[in-house]
Chain A
Amino acid sequence: ELQLVESGGGLVQPGRSLRLSCAASGFTLGDYAMHWVRQPPGKGLEWVSGISWNSGIIDYADSVKGRFTISRDNAKNSLYLQMNSLRLEDTALYYCAKDSGRSAYDRPNYFDYWGQGTLVTVSS
């Protein structure tokens, strides 16, 4: 059974850092692009970042560009999100999501599997 399990969330002060992980099982992570999507409490979905199967194509939302870094270790079947200079508005449930293709240009592409999320709370 395909599973995505996020970890690494928690309470952190503004300006500090946090690293999220997403462990994949039931499929070969290296065959697919992966993404991070976040959802502030009571609000809608916001795409954060995406990475192609071989890390050759990486994109970020403007709201996190320069502060967050997405990476992957296909040998470990794991996806990561390094979050630096955290702000109050970064408070959200962070989901990792599997793309249907190898990159954003592998059309059609969509998010066919999602983890259950890890909560990041930025507060002083």
Chain B
Amino acid sequence: DIQMTQSPSSLSPSVGDRVTITCRASQSISTWLNWYQQKPGRAPRLLIFAASSLQSGVPSRFSGSGSGTDFTLTISSLQPEDFATYYCQQSYSSRISFGQGTRLEIK
């Protein structure tokens, strides 16, 4: 199975900061990498699919990049509503797997 490792596990940025979250796959997954945001008590929400495609309705401050085994999610200017947990997910294999999550906490 493909293992997904995110770093860091948690982060305490300030509003307006540029934030980068990294996700590494245990084998090459081409660009079949998705990013989700989850707020407490809510279901996950799709942000980015296929490594760099922005889901409809998602603010343009979110962007994704990478291919092969290394991927990043970037928030260009952090807003108060962005404090949440972020998960990467590989869809290269039919046995899908998620990263362990990166929690953005208010500083």
CB within 8 Å of B: which residues of A?
35, 37, 44-47, 50, 57, 59-62, 95, 100, 103-105, 107-112, 114-117
Contact = CB atoms under 8 A, between A and B. Distances in A.
Interface residues of B, number: 27
Interface in B68-107: 85, 87, 89, 91, 93-101
Contacts of A100: 49
B28 interface: no
Contacts, number: 70
Given A59-B94, A108-B91, A109-B32, 17 more contacts: A44-B98, A44-B101, A45-B38, A46-B98, A47-B89, A47-B97, A95-B44, A107-B50, A107-B91, A108-B49, A108-B50, A109-B91, A110-B34, A110-B46, A111-B44, A114-B45, A115-B43
Contacts of B45: 114
- Looking at chain B's contact residues, the main secondary structure is loop
- Looking at chain A's contact residues, the main secondary structure is loop
Contacts of A105: 94
Interface of B: 1, 31-32, 34, 36, 38, 43-46, 49-50, 53, 55, 85, 87, 89, 91, 93-101
A95 B98 CA distance: 14
Given A109-B91, A110-B49, A110-B91, A104 B96 contact: yes
A112 B96 CA distance: 15
